[in-house]
Amino acid sequence: MLVIHGYSFVMRSPNFNVKHVRVEGQKRLTVNEVMEVAGVSRGPNVLSLKTDEVAKQLVMHPWIASARVERELPDRLVLSIVERQAVAQLALGALYLVDRRGELFKRVESGENFDWPVFTGLVREDLEDDTPSDRAGTVKRLIRGGISLLDSWQRIDRGTMMPLGEVHLDPLFGYSVVIAGNAAQGAGAVVHLGLGDLAPKMDKLSVVFADADRRGQSVGSVRLDDERDPNRVAVRFLGAEQSSLKSGKQGKFERIIASGEKKAAKGRNGSL
C-alpha cells in the first residue's frame, strides 16, 4: 500500500514535472524545431513520458538519423539527436537529398535551394521497392561510388576551387562530372572518369588543370575513361587549341602527365 501511495505521489508531484529540456546534436535544426518534432514541452511529469516513443517520433523527421531520449531526475529531459549529413542531390524528376550512406531521405521542396552536386542518370524505377535485386545493387553501388568521387575530388589540387555541379552515373560508362562555379573555376568543363580506380585519374586531372593554368587556357573537356589504355588522357581546350592533343603536341603532353604522376605519387608515398 505504501508503494502504491508513493508511486501516486511521485506521479502527481510538481517536483517531477518537466522544467528543463536539453537538446543535443542539432546543427541544421533549431532547439524549438526538435522539441516540436518530439512533441514534448515543459510541464508533463518526467516519469510519465515514454522515452522510446519520443525517440521514434524524432526519427520520423527527415533530417534526424537517430535519437535518444533520457530523463534526468527530478525535472529534466534530454533529447540527443544525430542529424543526417547530406552530400548530394539525386534527380528523379524531382530532386532528393542523399546522405553519406547513399540513402535518399528528403524530397527537395519548392523554394528550397541547396548547393550540393546533382546526381543524374538514374530513373525512378531504379529505386522502386520491386526493382530487381541485381539492378538495385548496381544502383546502390553507383550512388556510393558517386559519393566516393565527391570525396576524392576534394583531395585533388584545385578540387576545392572547382565545385562540381553535376555527377552523371552510368552503369556501363561510369562517371562523368560537370564543373560548376565561374569561368575562372573551370565552369562548364566536362570530365569523363569512367569506371575503376579514381586515384590515378585524379592525379592526371590535377596535372591537366595545372598545365591549362600555366598556358592561360580553359579546359572544355577531359577524357580519362579509355579502358583499353588507362594511361591515355584526351583534353579539349576552349578556343584556338581545341585539337592540340591530336597534333604532334600529344607526346609533350604525355610527358607532362607522367611528370605530374610522379609528383603526385611522391606526395602520397613520401618518396618515389
Q: First vs last Cα of the chain: how many Å apart?
A: 81
Alpha helix (H) residue ranges in the chain: 2-12, 31-38, 51-58, 133-155, 199-215, 250-269
The whole-model pTM stands at 0.81
Tally of structural domains, the chain? 2
> Given pLDDT bands bounded at 50, 70 and 90, which one contains residue 242?
very low
Query: Which CATH number do you get for residue 143?
Result: 3.40.50.11690
Q: Is 245 a residue whose pLDDT tops 50?
A: no
Dihedral (CA of 28, 33, 39, 41) sign: positive
Q: Which domain holds residue 224?
A: 86-269
What is the Cα–Cα distance from 260 to 182, expressed in whole angstroms?
26
Same domain, 233 and 104: yes
- Picking from 149, 141, 246, the residue whose alpha carbon sits closest to that of residue 205 is 149
CB distance 90 to 144 below 8 Å? no
Please give the backbone phi and psi of residue 171, each rounded to the nearest 5 degrees, phi first.
-65, -25
> Does 116 share its domain with 155?
yes
What percent of the chain has a predicted confidence (pLDDT) above 90?
Answer: 63
Q: Are residues 188 and 264 in the same domain?
A: yes
Residues 112, 138, single domain; the answer is yes
Tell me: do 102 and 125 sit in the same domain: yes
Domain-ending residue, one of 49, 66, 83: 83
Return d(Cα 170, Cα 213) in angstroms, integer.
30
Query: pLDDT tens-digit profile of 138-183?
Result: 999 999 999 999 999 988 877 778 899 999 999 999 999 999 977 6
Q: What letter represents residue 242's amino acid?
A: Q
User: Are residue 181 and residue 254 in the same domain, yes or no?
Assistant: yes
pLDDT tens for residues 222-241?
A: 999 999 999 999 999 987 44
Q: Kindly report whether the peptide bond that precedes residue 74 is cis, defined as omega within 30 degrees of 0.
A: yes
- Residue 49 sits in a domain whose CATH number is 3.10.20.310
Final residue belonging to a domain, choices 58, 83, 108: 83
What is the Cα–Cα distance from 70 to 68, expressed in whole angstroms?
7
Place of cell 548530394: 88
Same domain, 153 and 242: yes
Q: Which residues of 59-77 are buried (b: 16+ CB within 10 A; e: fewer)?
A: eebebbbebbbeeeeebeb
For 51-137, strand residue ranges (E) read 64-72, 76-83, 86-92, 94-99, 104-107, 118-120
Distances (CA, A) of 173 to 4, 219, 260: 71, 21, 26
Q: What stretches of 105-168 show up as alpha helix (H) in DSSP?
A: 133-155
- Residue at 140: amino acid letter: K
Cβ of 135: how many Cβ atoms within 10 Å? 14
Give me the mean pLDDT over the 22-26 stretch.
97
Average pLDDT over residues 57-77: 96
